[in-house]
Every structure is written in structure tokens, then in C-alpha cells.
Amino acid sequence: MTKKLFFQAIGKFVFGLVFVALLLFLPAGTLRFWNGWLFIGILFLPISITGIVMMIRNPELLKKRLNAKEKQKEQKTVIFLSGLMFVAAFIVAGLNFRFSWIVLPDWLVYTASGIFVAAYLMYVEVLRENEYLSRTVEVQKNQKVIDTGLYGIVRHPMYFATLFLFLSMGLVLGSPISFVIMLFYIPIIVKRINNEEKILAQGLEGYEEYRKKVKYRIIPFIW
């Protein structure tokens, strides 16, 4: 671990926390937006713990996760659309609380929170299984195909986890409208996976054989 990596991680964490808080609480017009605090807690507390563990045990993986600069044109479009989706969903959630458009029952909010935490635990397990898990779509030097654990069930378990993470966000924030906005993640992630598989098939030895072995991309028996 280097000082540069440490400060880069801390800087991105603080920026992300402040940015999300502003997107939620400014539209809400109050700090009493309890769904916003709940969401920040179940998002940034696990992120901080995971970041500390990676910083100690696998700083190289942390470095890869902090690098979000895509080289592929298609993936740049995916990142841009994803960013718009998140910003819209967070702002609408704040407005939903402010104007009480649609109020969800507490049990649904807490159920969605449980799904979010479970999905994040799966995400952490994927990080543990795959040390090549960069945030950018690329074939890394000396990269090998991972076909054990969750990768023996679906080819992209990280996207399976993020699917439940993102779709539960709107409900955690108490906004069904935000949930509908987050449904756009489905076509976005389909586009990303199709492009990623094309790149891996061209540049990663053994990936074609892996695709024949593990037939489903993110949801068993469906796709």
C-alpha cells in the first residue's frame, strides 16, 4: 500500500459520500429524510469496511477498483447513462420525500434494505474470488479465467449482485418512482455485458471454453 493509493481511496470515498448526500438531501429540503440516512448507512459503511480490508490485504485490487476510466467507446456510453440514471433516481427520491408523492410502508423499505445488504455481501464475495475484477472492461496481463465459486454458476456474478443492489435502492429510499428509473439499469447492463464478452472472447485465453461450460450470463436458466 502506498500513500498515494491511501489518499486516493479516502478522497473518492469522501467525494462519493458528499455527492450522494447532496443529491438526496437538497431535493428533500431537510436532513430529516430518514430513508436517505438509512441508504447512506447501508451503502457507505460496508464500502468503508471493504476498502480497508482491500487496502490491507489486496491493494492491487483496490487500485483496479478505483480506476473507472473506460477505454472502450461503448463502455463510456454505459458509464454516462448509468451516471444519469443514479442522479435522476436520487433527486427524485428526495423530491418524493419532500412532497409525499408516494409513501411506501416501512416493512417494504426494511425488506429492500435487507436485499441490498445481502447483494452487497455477494458483491464482496465476488471481489474475493476474482482478483482481476477491474471496474473497466479490459483483458489484464496474465489474467486467467475464473470458473469456480459463483463463477461456476453464472459468468458475471458481479452484475447479478449489482442488479439487486441497484433495483433495491429506490425502495430503500422510499420512492417507487426511483425504482422505475433504476429499471433502466437492465438494458444498460445488457449492453455492457455483451461488449465485455466480445472483448474477453477475443483477448482472454480459455474464455470461449468457459462460455460453453457456464451457459448463463447473470441469471441461471434465464440469461
The per-residue pLDDT for range 83-102, each reduced to its tens digit, is 999 999 999 999 999 999 99
Distances (CA, A) of 128 to 23, 111, 131, 133, 214: 31, 26, 7, 9, 20
Please report whether residue 172 resides in a domain.
Answer: yes
Burial 10-46 (b: 16+ CB within 10 A, else e): eeeeeeeeeebbebbbebbeeeebebbebbeebbbeb
In a domain, 223, yes or no: no
Asked whether residue 40 is domain-assigned, the answer is yes
Residue at 218 is within a domain: no
In the chain, the N- to C-terminal Cα span, in Å, equals 39
Pull the grid cell for residue 13: 470515498
The overall average pLDDT reported for the chain is: 89
Task: For residue 105, give its domain range.
Answer: 9-213
pLDDT band (50, 70, 90) for residue 112: very high
219 within domain boundaries = no
122: its cell numbers: 455477494
**pLDDT of res. 72:** 64
Q: Which helix (H) or strand (E) holds 49?
A: helix 34-57
In a domain, 166, yes or no: yes
Q: Say what the pLDDT of residue 138 is.
A: 61
Residue 26 falls inside a structural domain: yes
Give a yes or no: residue 195 inside a domain.
yes
DSSP tag of 220: T
Number of structural domains (the chain) is: 1
Integer Cα distance of 6 and 92 in angstroms: 34
CATH of residue 189's domain is: 1.20.120.1630
pLDDT tens, position by position, 180-222: 999 999 999 998 898 888 888 888 888 889 999 999 999 988 8
